[in-house]
Structure 1
Amino acid sequence: MGEKPLALVTGAGGGIGAAIVARLVEDGMRVLALDRDEQSLAPLADRDEVCATAFDLADLAETPGFLAKLVCEYGVPTRLALNAGVWPGAPIAEMSDEVWQINFAVNVTSPFAFMRGLAPQMAEAGGGAIVCTASRNAYRSSVNNAAYDASKAALLGLVRTAAGEFAAAGIRVNAVSPGVVSTAATPEVEEPLFKAAYRKQIPMDRYGAPEDIAGVCTFLLSDDARFVTGQDVIVDGGQIACQDNGRFMQIPGLDS
């Protein structure tokens, strides 16, 4: 895979993750693209700059050995996009332990395990940058999504603490919090009535695209962000900042 800088992206098989991979390649990097779904990685397999590898991030016991194998084979990635996420939900009173645990395993504990496993080696390599994909749900609640909302809020706490701990080693740590992004994994947001109503909450009057999020992620991983750490960039078309401006009440079929 040559001597270009090496990056690692989780959840790379589609949506935001695939867009991050594409941008990093455009920026001249080699990329270790990880996803639990091997088939979703197939479109990346024929790119010389990309090594596509299937791995289940919920398998925390196997993570240290998996990372050691990656480093042995490809070298130390100095740019980490810890993007993978899951969001199974249920009302709190009906939520199983399994639903709660899988949200935290993938959304929080896996990024922690990747930081713990790779940050010391990144430091030895001269530093680097980490970006985690959080969510607007870390700031605004969503009915029946307590596990997801709590896990993304916890992820932001991890990012801030890691930024402080790793700064002296030359490693920056930041987050990106997307609003609604239309991908193959979120077909429900394209239901016409839901879409028309929800977009009224967004001043820019559209959903995000994977490329919108990828652009911010790759900026935070780049040297252009060399003095940025411990931050979360909300990328939601202005939804949180302007949610109380009254426009969201203009729902089709109702008098405004």
Structure 2
Amino acid sequence: MVAAAAPSPCPNPWFPMEEGLSLTYRAGRSSELVLATKDVAPAPDGTVKATLAVSLKGRSGQTDLTCDANGVRTGLGGLEGTLLSASGMDVQVVNAEGAAVPAPSVMVPGGTWKNSLSVKLQPPAKKGGLRPTIATTFDKEATVVGEEEITVAAGTFKALKIKNITTARASRPGAEGRSMESFMWFAPDVGIVKLTTDGETHLELLKVDRPNAKVKPASIQGGAKKKAVKPTKS
């Protein structure tokens, strides 16, 4: 019997790089975060490159996306760097290792991966104000807890629950770090649907827009129900 070929790592269903895909989230209690994918360019070697546009609190920015056999990487070192940039901070990536989202073969119950991001941060410029530079390193260890059905504002999804342990420390020798536990839920053909820390929701998916009229993935359930049409009397 001929063994079945391994599925291609790109496009990665857990971080779909689909032209025109736009995901709108509630960030915190009231702000809206929008992640939009554009300029998708598949390469002959199987890799895919694209641009991720980010909008948060009236500010916008963008970063490069690359999908290869190791997973999906961003030019700002993953979700953490992307959100820091959109918040108005000037972000200089000093070093980034590992994928923001690993290859599909790792995104299974029990799968684990690590990534690290070292950055230099400066607050938004203010007239006459000082702009101190903060050098910080984020080390993250992620584990796929298992499959779980989760309901958010955008609907009900069959998702993978991910446990993250992120340690933030000053980028200097001997600096002690502070660790934080968080959970993320990823739905296939959508990506992140929810992020929580200490039981508090920091990201919740509000809506998925696909201008190319792609059929919604089977993992999404619910949505608007059609009203029953009453038969007319003859």
Relative to the length of structure 1, the TM-score reads 0.29
1 or 2, which has the higher strand percentage? 2
Relative to the length of structure 2, the TM-score reads 0.30
